[in-house]
Amino acid sequence: MNTDMETTRQGRSVELSILVPVFNEEDVLALLFGRLYPVLDALERPFEVLFVNDGSSDQSGKILAHQFEQRPDVTRVISLSSNAGQHAALIAGFQRAKGDFIVTLDADLQNPPEEIPAVVAEMDKGFDYVGSIRASRHDRAWRHIASRLMNALREKITNIRMTDQGCMLRGYSRDIALEIAASNESRTFIPALAYLYAARPTEITVAHEERAGGQSKYSLFKLVQLNFDLITSFSSVPLQLISITGIVVSILSFLFVCYLAFRRLFYGPEVEGVFTLFGITIFLMGLLLFSMGMLGEYIGRINGLVRRRKRFRVASVLEADEGVKSPVDEAGSAPGPE
Ligand code: UDP
Ligand code: MG
């Protein structure tokens, strides 16, 4: 392994970067190290493990720094100044990964590290993007249902075709990763971008396990936000649906007014059906509010892009090359609101 260590230390010839976003994962990191490093050592090719500490407030930062001391030859730790979200953390990693292939992995061991060789084998065959499908999913039941619905919606209204959008154990060629990092979107959904950019994508089935400890870092609100990111970044169909609904409602209400005018002329003034009218009006008000919210989703993202605010700032980097650098005034190229 000595030669591998040398090449890795010099920052050259790293073939494989394993990229792990970490947000408050103190309960699982030791278990992750215990399973991840042996798998990578057994691969016998120059690798690095790049942890992106996404503004953790627990002991994760310390645990990662300790792991860096254990394996400084193959470990790098990037710390963001605050919690920017899993996908922003991945972009921070893509910008700095040195490997020809980059394999992303969740820290909570839901993606078994033992599956990494299978992803690498696909990349060796020349695929520039390796997506993944969870053989059997181990999450809460409501997450299964919600994600099945989102999968179906995404299939309908975007041109992104992927079997399983939720699994983050995926392989990216360096070119694709850099392209994604440069895409300059304020908020995005990385696997979907990869499908857009990949020339030779493929998918494999991988095992999925229960979270090894701690809690999911996605609240219901964060999940909804992420799915809005997925839809609004890749489709304008919701906006078109609003226009179509507007047209249909206008036609129907015009016909209704004609009908009422007809009755007024031939039957005189009437007051029946007031509650039906209330019902219709309130329904239309709901539709209006929903449409405004949908517009707001798009406008909010445009607003983020216009402000050109950095989405994250790299506060410190632990790597063997130049020793410990801190703080570094580097920032993500992806501006946007947080
Ligand atoms: N994560 C992150 N920033 C966040 C939320 C999550 O870096 O704001 C990381 C988290 O530490 C984990 C991965 O993203 O490594 C997936 O998160 P989690 O397991 O909580 O999501 P779930 O599996 O429930 O979808
Ligand atoms: Mg998880």
Q: Per residue in 276-297, pLDDT tens?
A: 788 888 989 999 999 999 999 8
Give residue 37's pLDDT band: very low, low, confident or very high (50, 70, 90): very high
DSSP string, 47-86: EEEEEEE-S--STHHHHHHHHHHHSTTTEEEEEESS---H
Region 89-99 average pLDDT = 95
Nearest residue by C-alpha to atom 8 in ligand 1: 85
Q: Is 274 exposed, middle or buried (0-12, 13-18, 19+ CB in 10 A)?
A: exposed
Amino acid at site 116: I
Angle of the 237-267 helix axis to the 141-157 helix axis, nearest 10: 80
What's the pTM value of the predicted model, to 2 decimals?
0.82
| Residue bearing tokens 């591998």 | 4
Give, for ligand 1, the residue of 56, 79, 82, 86 to mutate: max count of ligand atoms closer than 8 Å to Cβ.
86
Cα 280 to averaged position of ligand 2 atoms, centre (Å): 43
Q: In a 3-state reduction of DSSP, which class is residue 169?
A: coil
Exposure string of 193-218, with b = 16+ CB inside 10 Å and e = fewer, is bbbbbbeebbbbebbbeebbebeebe
Q: Kindly report, residue by residue over 170-202, the tens digit of the pLDDT.
A: 999 999 999 999 987 767 889 999 998 999 999
CA gap 102, 94 in Å, rounded: 8
How remote is the CA of residue 15 from the centroid of ligand 2, in Å? 26
Q: How far is the CA of 289 from the centre of ligand 1 (A)?
A: 31
Q: Which ligand is nearest to the CA of 217?
A: 1
Which atom number of ligand 1 is nearest to the Cα of residue 216?
20
CA of 169 from ligand 2 middle (Å) equals 11
Taking CB atoms and a 6 Å cutoff, what residues make up the pocket around ligand 1?
A: 21-23, 25, 54, 83, 85-86, 89, 106-108, 110, 216-218
